[in-house]
Amino acid sequence: MNNSQELSTFSHEINNSLTLIYGQIQYIEKTNDILTQNEHWNRMKDDFSSLFDFIHQFLAPEDTTSATIEPLDLINLISELRSSWSYYLHKERIRFFIQADPGTAFYVYGAKSKLFQLFHNLISNAVKAIQQKEEINRSPHITVHLSKEQGHIVLNLSDTGIGMTPEQQSRAFYRGVSFQPGGNGIGLSIVRKIAHELHIKIHIDSAPNQGTTFTLIFPAYEQKLNYLTHTEALTK
């Protein structure tokens, strides 16, 4: 077994184990409400969550050639992520909006696992930015806005967090660079890597205390479909 296969197996097994452990923690808490008032319990949960996130990011596979590329509905995908984050968002009193023209489909080609990872990191970054904001935020929220422009799907993910300076924005995607207390500087570097792999253009628009917007421009669905169809025809 080569190193890549060993890392992939190790990553899979440790993530499964950590997921099961965290599931047990949640079950214990739900059946023992008094634990939510225990400072040490809450601290342990936060520490475990940070550890889980760090290990997940560190063990993220470098090779994505085996990931299945398929048509995906971005509204459904973002809705699934919002559901996954619902408990934490409710706890932090952060509202999550999805804005799109009614009846409009927003399909892109991509690897679902990778897009989940990309958006998980962006949402995690948004939540932490909101938590960092010192002034009272009367309506903390995250908004995902979808639109179509010249055949491309444009997704804006905005938060009402602490924001970034121009200098911070220029370094935000560098691995190991973090502007959050206790941050490991891995999440946004993985976002950039996945975006590059899936041919998604991404940029930041932010200002201190004004929040941050990440704009993702996806390849035109029709162009990608024609390309894949042409490629399949050539291989037959």
Q: What is the pTM of this model?
A: 0.70
For residues 37-41, give the mean pLDDT: 86
In this prediction, residue 2 has a pLDDT band, given cuts at 50, 70 and 90, of low
Q: Return the pLDDT at 184.
A: 62
Task: Specify the residue for token string 């444009």.
Answer: 154
- Answer whether residue 36 shows pLDDT above 50: yes
- Answer whether residue 234 shows pLDDT above 70: no
Question: Sign of the C-alpha dihedral, residues 46, 49, 53, 54?
Answer: positive
Q: Return the pLDDT at 54.
A: 64
Q: Return the pLDDT at 38.
A: 87
182: left (phi over 0), alpha (psi -120 to 50) or beta: left
What does the domain layout of the chain look like in residue ranges?
3-58, 69-225
Backbone angles phi, psi at 146, to 5 degrees: -115, 140
CATH topology of domain 69-225: Heat Shock Protein 90 (3.30.565)
The two structure tokens encoding residue 98: 């999805």
Across the chain, mean pLDDT equals: 80
Within a 10 A sphere around the Cβ of 139, how many other Cβ atoms?
A: 8
Span 99-144, pLDDT tens digits: 998 888 899 988 888 898 899 889 989 998 998 886 666 789 999 9
For residues 156-185, give the mean pLDDT: 83
Q: Return the pLDDT at 182.
A: 61
> Which are the contacts of 110, defined by CB distance < 8 A and separation ≥ 6?
69, 70, 72, 198, 218
Q: Return the pLDDT at 235.
A: 47
How far is it, in rounded angstroms, from Cα 14 to Cα 162? 33
Span 53-89, pLDDT tens digits: 666 666 655 554 456 788 999 999 999 889 888 877 8
Among 31-35, 95-99, 214-218, the minimum mean pLDDT is found in 31-35
In this prediction, residue 156 has a pLDDT band, given cuts at 50, 70 and 90, of very high
